[in-house]
Amino acid sequence: MKTADERIKIYLADLKAALSGADKATIQDALADAEEHLRTALENENLEAEAESEAVETIINEYGEAEEIAQAYRSWEADLPPALAATPAARRASARSANGTSSAARAYPGFFGVYADPRAWGGLVYMLISLVTGTLYFSWAVTGVSTSLGVMVLIIGIPVTILFLLSFRGVAFLEGRLVEALLGERMPRRASFTDSSLPWGERLKTLLLGKATWLSWIYMVLMLPIGIIYFSVMITLLALALGFMVSPAGAVFMIASGIPVPLIQTHNFSWVLTPSQAILVSLVLACVGLGIGTASMHLARFVGQVHGKFAKALLVSD
Amino acid sequence: MVDLKETHKKFQKELSAGTVSLILLTILAQSAEPLYGYQIGKLVGAGEDEGPGVMVKQGAIYPVLRSLESQGLLSSERELSDSGPPRRYYQATQAGQEALQTWAAIWEETKTFVDNVLGGDYQ
């Protein structure tokens, strides 16, 4: 006869299998719900170990067959709008394309449609703040590992190490919420908790040797270089675009103040534009600036989607 | 031969799809304190073969709670319990309370209409 605990594990495995192909975050949510329920139910029965293994069958039966429950989660997932695709069109588009990369583009058509797309704005904000978050993550990840290694020989080394490892999981969860809010990639709605039925040693082993902990750590370390690149590229493009876009105002100001407007100026050569030429050139520049700005928004949306996938791969464990 | 058992089951399932949302929202709107999934399941008698109760399995309640939450009608908070896994406590939001008024009115209308049709009184 299986123990209640083994039976619950089997059920969770069945549920996971029945949900194969569904969104990773949905699977994680469904498993967390099932585990919470089954363990709470068992606890409420307050039985001896032997009676427990019988009661667990009733509890699982009342919870529902894995196949049936999986179906309920799938239909919930299908109804769920991706975090940022607020319009019905976007929802339909994302339902059509499983990978979702082109869905945003289809929902907001045209080169300038990108300005109406919350994903582009989310991506832009994400790229700009990633320098700050990346620096914080990197510092914390490196501090955590070096402090832990440093105090390893002391008795306080163990609790310090555990606290840091737990904090990596916590940061991974928070970053997941940020990624979902800004980039629209679905991430787990709740932090994964370790199996509380396991003995302390086992839980510690999962924490210390678990893939999830170290993938989160790698993500935190990588976020520094990634954040620097995102921030530099985006701020450069934005500065360039804005500079070009305000050039007509500059030209008008210079003409009005009687300052000559040079197109090219070196120490022995100068090509000064007439006022009408200056206006024309600055208008062309403004158009170029608008083009660069809009292209940057497309870039932000694209980077946001790629980064969402990247974050999911590292921060959400199977 | 028509498999009536399957047909009954299908009808039951389709009918419960909307009513479960209404029942869960009502219970959480009336409750003085936040409730977690297992409590709610017990309250509505989910998964039980006999007696009055919603005709869904207990496990099917959770996706409905999540759906109501993603629509902003419920809010939830995860709390650690003394023993066992953490629990997610749900409660109705202000929007949920308002939505319930309308939902209850829709339910009244539907109920009256269905009763009338069943009683042959629909002309």
Q: Please state the rounded mean pLDDT for residues A115-136.
A: 92
Cβ atoms of A82 and A94 within 8 Å: the answer is: yes
CB A130, CB A226: distance < 8 Å? yes
Mean pLDDT of B103-118: 91
Helices (H), chain A: 4-18, 24-45, 49-63, 66-79, 88-96, 103-107, 118-151, 157-183, 200-209, 211-245, 247-256, 275-315
What's the angle, vertex CA A297, arms to CA A291 and CA A300, rounded to 5? 140
Of all residues in chain B, the one with the smallest CA distance to A82 is B70
Instruction: Compare CB distances from A76 to B57, B67, B84 and report the shortest one's residue.
Output: B67
* A191 contacts A207 by C-beta, under 8 angstroms: no
A-chain CB neighbours of B14 within 8 Å are none
- Check residue B1 and give its pLDDT: 62
**Proportion of chain B above pLDDT 90, given as a percent:** 30
Please indicate whether residue A198 or residue A278 has the higher confidence score (pLDDT). A278
Which residue in B38, B47, B70 is closest to A64 by CB distance? B47
Q: Tell me if B123 is assigned to some domain.
A: no
b/e A54-77 (16+ beta carbons within 10 angstroms → b): ebbeebbebbbbbeebbbbbbebb
CA atoms of B123 and B117, how far apart (whole Å) = 9
Mean predicted confidence (pLDDT) in B20-43: 89
Q: Is A44 on the interface with B (CB under 8 A)?
A: yes
Binary contact (A30, B78; C-beta < 8 A): no
Quick one: tokens of A300? Answer: 């932000």
Amino acid found at A185: E
User: Is B26 domain-assigned?
Assistant: yes
Tokens of A172: 């991974």
Mean pLDDT score of chain A? 82
Q: How confident is the model at residue A140 (pLDDT cuts 50, 70, 90)?
A: very high
CA-to-CA distance for A293 and A234, rounded, in angstroms? Answer: 10
Domain ranges of chain A: 1-80, 111-318
CB pair distance less than 8 Å for A62 and B46: yes
Map residue A263 onto helix, strand or coil: strand
CATH number at residue B36: 1.10.10.10
Contact B84 A40 (CB under 8 A): yes
Contact yes or no for A300/A127 (Cβ under 8 A): yes
Domain count, chain B: 1
Q: What domain range includes position B45?
A: 4-118
Whether pTM exceeds 0.90: no
pLDDT in tens, B36-95: 888 888 888 766 665 556 667 888 889 899 889 888 899 988 877 666 677 889 999 999
Percent of chain A surpassing pLDDT 90: 31
Calculated CA dihedral for residues A146, A147, A149, A155, nearest 10 degrees? 180
Q: How close is the nearest chain B Cα to the Cα of A3, in Å?
A: 16
Residues in A closer than 8 angstroms to B57, CB to CB, are 62-65, 68-69
User: What angle is formed at CA B18 by the lines to CA B12 and CA B20, rounded to 5 degrees?
Assistant: 80
Percent of chain B whose pLDDT exceeds 70: 85
pLDDT, tens digit, for every residue of A228-270?
A: 999 999 999 999 999 999 999 988 888 888 887 877 777 777 7
pLDDT tens digits for range A34-67:
988 888 888 877 666 667 778 888 888 888 888 8
